[in-house]
Structure 1
Amino acid sequence: MNYRHSFHAGNSADVVKHSLLIALVRALQLKEGALTLIDAHSGCGLYDLDGDQAQRTGEAAQGVLRTLTDPNPLLNDYRAAVQAVNVGAEPHLYPGSPRILAQFLRPQDVLILNEKHPEDANALRGAMRGTPAAVHERDAYELWLAMVPTRTGRGVVVVDPPYEQTDERERITVTLAAAYRKWAHGVTVIWYPLKDRAAHGRWKEQLRALGIPKFMSVEHWLYDHIQPGLYNGAGLFIVNPPYAFTQALPPLLEALRAALAPEGHSGEITADWLND
């Protein structure tokens, strides 16, 4: 697998994913009970925005760098999470989901990370040094099923694959169905890229057929019209989002749309229930 998130760290997809992940964890932490946070595709955990790979794509310029200068206070939690791994006003590092989740751990919470690829797993261990995170080096889908139900009463599983394998969506669908049978009340977050509306619509139909009642789809389309063959945006499927999260979502989504809309486009970001 040739994908390396270091080429894409801090892009618009990261901004949306991490902003919503922070809001989700904060909503769950309104209750005192312990949370287990599981990141099945953790990557390296921390990324160099000044490095050759990030500079080669320049994607952070249209993502995190725009968001850091946006005045909307609804993005303050996200900005604070990025600034927490940097010194000074200019960001040189970008925190992946593991480092962001670690910032929100309470003493009673548990953080479990997983990265299958040895090189990235080694980098992840270095990035998480000094945190209470447990780091695994396993197949993400095997780990997902093995870790649920969580030992704590509540938990979140984050599924964030690179989608370079042709069967990635099928594996997600099958594993989600099995995990839901074991852990129907658990919260699951699945990130996905948006390229082709028709193909994505077919996958949504397959997921809808699972019959999961509380199943939300958040989609961020960057452009006003599909750019054929290009990355057009990204989204999240969220199983069992808490009420406090869904109630606060509309203004946060509008803040993200406005901050990330490419020049000449208004963009679109929506949240819908799959099984309404």
Structure 2
Amino acid sequence: MNYRHSFHAGNSADVVKHSLLIALVQALQLKQSALTLIDTHAGCGLYDLLGDQAQRTGEAAQGVLRACADTNPLLDAYRAAVSAVNGGDEPRLYPGSPQVLAQLLRPQDVLVLNEKHPEDAQALRAAMRGTPAAVHQRDAYELWLALVPPRTPRGVVVVDPPYEQTDERARITATLAAAHRKWAHGVTVIWYPLKERAVHARWKEQLGKLGTSKFLSVEHWLYDEDQPGIYNGAGLFIVNPPYAFTQALPPMLEALRAALAPEGHRGTLTADWLNE
């Protein structure tokens, strides 16, 4: 599957990913000690929802536009992140994870961004101008392993690849295992698309054998029955999520499910432990 950020900016997967990422970082920031936030596949940082690539899919209509029209206060932090890069009522621009994370930074926090694609890396540098983010253009998995453990007491690694390569899942699994040996208590967030349940179930089984102490699986299936051969949803693997985050998660997941359910479908948005 090729899941390049610019074609899918603001879709339902982005709404869930960024809503939970905000909640996760805010939960970690309940403690005053510094955080290093590392985004291994940062993309362009900012996306034009009226641009050619976003318009080609039109996915924002079922994602950010629905979330912004929703009134559930549990989505207020997400809507605020979107409003921060827009002037009008309806969003024209969409903040990628780098912009979302930059908005959350405290003076003691550090933001490290990485994007290997040359054009996207150039766009990322432009989008992050004026922020304290450090931008790299390296192999994502080499950077991930090189930067953990971070110099600050705590940190979060966000892994959000386009899944263009057939070995993407294998590289994630191998790098996570190596990173965990170096940084057992680190928080890691891995985004993934959901297409075929059998493929996903095999990957979950492999990840469950890594021996990580706390491994949360969040899955958002859009349709009540699988739609063969197409994108069916997305999810997050979260290693070592903080207690404050997991305790607040159930009502937020229900708010997101209700806001994003396609017409005629209820969908499911659940969180389960692989290891606890």
TM-score (norm 2): 0.99
Amino acid at match of 1:97: S
User: For the residues of structure 2 that align with 1:73 and 1:2, how far apart are their CA atoms?
Assistant: 34
Task: Report how far residue 275 of structure 1 moved.
Answer: 2.0
Within 5 A, what are the aligned runs for 1:157-172?
157-172=157-172
Q: In the alignment, which residue of structure 1 is the partner of 2:83?
A: 83
SS in 1 for 2:275: coil
Contact 2:8/2:60 (<8 A) preserved: yes
Q: 1: distance between equivalents of 2:179 and 2:54?
A: 35
Runs of at least 4 residues off by over 4 Å: none
1:39-54 equivalences in 2 (<5 Å): 39-54=39-54
Name the SS of the counterpart of 2:71 in structure 1.
coil
Aligned twin of 2:266 = 266
| Cα drift, residue 2 of structure 1 | 7.0
Counterpart residue number, 2:247: 247
Distance 2:165 2:124 in 1: 22
Aligned residues: 276
1:232 aligns to what? Answer: 232
Checking the alignment, whether the CA contact within 8 Å between 2:74 and 2:252 is kept in structure 1 is yes
Give aligned-pair identity as a percent.
Answer: 84
**1:4 offset after TM fit, Å?**
3.2
User: Which residue identity lines up with residue 193 of structure 1 in the other structure?
Assistant: P
Q: Which residue of 2 aligns with 1:117?
A: 117
Q: Distance in 1 between matches of 2:202 and 2:2?
A: 26
Report the CA distance between 1:6 and its aligned residue. 1.3
For residue 269 of structure 1, give the secondary structure of its aligned residue in structure 2: strand
Q: Structure 1 residue 108 and structure 2 residue 111: aligned?
A: no
- Which ranges in structure 2 are unaligned for 5 or more consecutive residues? none
The alpha carbon displacement at 1:53 in A equals 1.1
CA contact (8 A) 2:42 2:115 kept: yes
1:38-187, aligned counterparts within 5 Å?
A: 38-187=38-187
Letter in 1 for 2:82: V
Counterpart CA distance in 2 for 1:97 and 1:40 is: 10
- Partner Cα distance (2:3, 2:65) in 1: 23
CA–CA distance in structure 2, aligned partners of residues 127 and 146 of structure 1 = 25
Give the whole-Å Cα distance in 2 for the aligned partners of 1:185 and 1:90: 40
The unaligned stretches of length 5 or more in structure 1 are none
Amino acid at match of 2:66: R
Partners of 1:275 and 1:21 lie apart in 2 by 20
Give the superposed CA RMSD.
Answer: 1.0
